[in-house]
Structure 1
Amino acid sequence: MIKKIVLSTLLFITISACKQTKEIEKNTTTDTTFQFAKNISIQETETSITIKSSGNTVTFDKKELPIQTVMVETASAITYLDDLNALNTLKGVSDADFVYNPKIALGIANKTILNIGNNNELFSEVILKNKPQLIIASSNPVLAKFHQQLEQNGIKILYLDEYKEQNPLGQVEYLKIFGKLFGKNDVATKHVETVKNRYDSIKNIIQTQGKGTVSTLANTMYGDVWYAPTKDLLQAKLIEDAKGNYIFNDKSGENSLSLTFEEVYKKGKAATHWINVTNFDNLQQMKASYPNYAWFDAFKSGNVYAYSNRMNAKGANDYFEKGIIRPDFILNDLGKIFYPNLFPKHELYFYKQLK
């Protein structure tokens, strides 16, 4: 009798242990590794995916995936979807007129994509009437009250601020999020790896063969202030990888520098190249807007470049869309600008030289 009781007890313990083991396995969390992106994380169990980004957390039951309907507030989200051939899930866009991708204008015209708002407001009635599974937004405080209302009505919002990443390859890695959510995981992983390998290859050519004889000035005046990146920001990272010897590479911080013209001129008068000037088609326009621009050596030699080679009539710029997922294209452009002999067959894609 005692022997039977012992055996029964052992059997019960074994069965309980097996159940607990299976339950542990079911709830085991695995993290998606991001090599370069610092502002996001993905945790995954057998039944769910949790994304932490921009101080917010959103969890998806895997039974909800892949996402079938989505609305977006950022052009970058459109870029990620398009790269994964998932634009068929896109049902609404904010600020559609400022999107470069021509597929969006076509969708708006055909009414397969709805206009859901702008930087100042969201059309909540339109969104709630069509009730997408997901809205992809940036952490814009102006729209916080709209987001709160939508979440209270059961709509999930994923906040993505890829522009805060300090490494251009970090922005590319956001594709992994879209891959997880839209059933394109393998495609996303392959794209990230392809871009990384090409970026590293271009960087290696520049770093090993570029003579390092150039120096770079960036941006222009905005009102009375000249905003310039610190060495920690993405723009400066691209210049560094292109061996451009950025003039403010001794300044650190996560916010742009706010400088006077005199401060920039003191450091940048003799810079050999000037990149990322905006809203100008030629040097004459640039000089007319601010005559002192002509004092810089780079202006005098004509080594002035804008990233507006792919800009439509409404001012939407593909540099801020496709450039997010193709930093290898940007780096190739900068390599051509700084060291043209290293890339004799490359034609500028995002950049153009002002004449």
Structure 2
Amino acid sequence: MVETSSAVSFLTELGEFNLIKGVTDASFMYNPKIDQGIKNKTILEIGNSNELFTETILKNKPQLIIANSNPVLAKYHQQLEQNGIKVLYLDEYKEQNPLGQIEYLKVFGKLFNKNNEANQQFELVKNRYDSIKNIIQTKGKGNVSTLVNTMYGDVWYLPTKDLLQAKLIEDAKGNYIFNDKTGLNSLSLTFEEVYKKGKSANYWINVTSANSLAEMKASYPNYTWFDAFKNGNVYAYNKRMNIKGANDYFEQGIVRPDIILNDLGKIFYPDLFPNYTLYFYQQLK
């Protein structure tokens, strides 16, 4: 049984999806096999981010639960462990290296006796990532600048240069506008602070709450002040989002950072990838 969408991705990547017998927060998982399994009753709903259905779990006696160290669920995990259920905690989301999260595939390889498959897949993705990065770094002119995210309430949360989002942009030679800020905590800025530094940015990426420029304008009219908005260079990573709001960028993207980098390379330097079609990202119209 699994509590994270990342675990679904790792198991799917190794061809072991059928081992999944229960999930939490099924509606937030993109993989359509999860919905199908719940409808067919081959996969159980065992809880959500606030609680676990311990009776259901104990009744079905899973060999293993793959979880992360969510403090809200700690008491449920403790209860399950006291009743002989093994819980494996994996916090791959804390990794800030673009290839760091997929390296957890090797842990799953050890768990399910698929070391060779896990190592081979990791090397394939790593080699492709490095190849794409090399193309961008050697041929990309570096004449772009990039703004990310949108307002959340009255705050604009942005990554520092040490966080994953900024490192992906760096590898794609996107010249992130706050690349002078360091630390492992996100920046919490006002609109005015972001506008002062980002008004002339060429690109605006990682918009998730809108499917069009009109929706963005309706949610916060001052977004129209940015040059990237005026020029239509706004990209959301919600091309693979289903009607429930589950986003494959945060699922398959964990095991395919090479595709994310290829998307960014296509956005910043389209001439370098003339035959490539955006996979996770889409340009807002």
Distance 1:156 1:254 in 2: 31
* Alpha-carbon distance between aligned partners in 2 of 1:170 and 1:239, rounded to the nearest angstrom: 16
Can you list the C-alpha shifts for 1:119-163, whole angstroms capped at 9, x where unaligned? 100000000011111111111111111011001111111111111
TM-score, normalised via structure 2 length? 0.99
Distance in 1, matches of 2:159 and 2:70, equals 21
Whole-Å separation in 2 of the counterparts to 1:140 and 1:169? 23
Distance (whole Å) between structure 1 residues aligned to residue 206 and residue 18 of structure 2: 34
1:138 aligns with 2:68: yes
Paired residue total: 285
The one-letter code of the counterpart of 1:149 is: Q
The answer for the alignment partner of 1:28 in structure 2 is none
Which AA in structure 2 matches 1:245?
A: N
Aligned partners of 2:13, 2:38: CA distance in 1, in Å? 19
Pick from 75, 88, 97 the counterpart of residue 27 of structure 2. Answer: 97
Q: Per-residue displacement from partner, 1:189-216 (whole Å, max 9, x unpaired)? A: 0000000000000000000000000000
How far, CA to CA, are the matches of 1:100 and 1:90 in structure 2?
Answer: 15
Match of 1:232 among 162, 165, 188: 162
Deviation at 1:350, TM superposition (A): 0.1
Q: 2:42 aligns with which of 97, 105, 112?
A: 112
**Residue pairs, 1:186-225, within 5 angstroms:** 186-225=116-155
Contiguous gaps of at least 5 residues in structure 2:
none
Moved over 2 A (4+): none
Find the counterpart in structure 1 of residue 263 from structure 2. 333
Calculate the aligned-residue CA RMSD, in Å. 0.5
CA distance in structure 2 between the partners assigned to 1:156 and 1:251 by the alignment = 41
Spell out the pairing of 1:1-355 with structure 2 (5 A cutoff): 71-355=1-285
Distance 2:209 2:244 in 1: 12
Q: Percent identity?
A: 78
What per-residue deviation string (whole Å, max 9, x for no partner) do you get for residues 151-181 of structure 1? 1111111111111101120101000000000
Matched AA of 1:106: Q
- Report which of the two structures shows the higher radius of gyration computed on alpha carbons: 1
**Structure 1 CA distance for aligned equivalents of residues 93 and 193 of structure 2:** 26
Give distance in 1, aligned partners of 2:205 and 2:136: 18
Structure 1 CA distance, aligned partners of 2:205 and 2:91?
24
The residue identity in structure 2 corresponding to 1:221 is: M
User: 2:70, 2:154 → 1: CA distance?
Assistant: 25
User: What amino acid is the match of 2:110?
Assistant: K
Question: Partner amino acid for 2:268?
Answer: F
Q: Deviations over 1:6-32 (max 9, x none)?
A: xxxxxxxxxxxxxxxxxxxxxxxxxxx
User: Quick one: higher RCO (CA 8 Å, sep 6+), 1 or 2?
Assistant: 2
Distance 1:278 1:194 in 2: 29
* Structure 1 unpaired stretches of 5+: 1-70
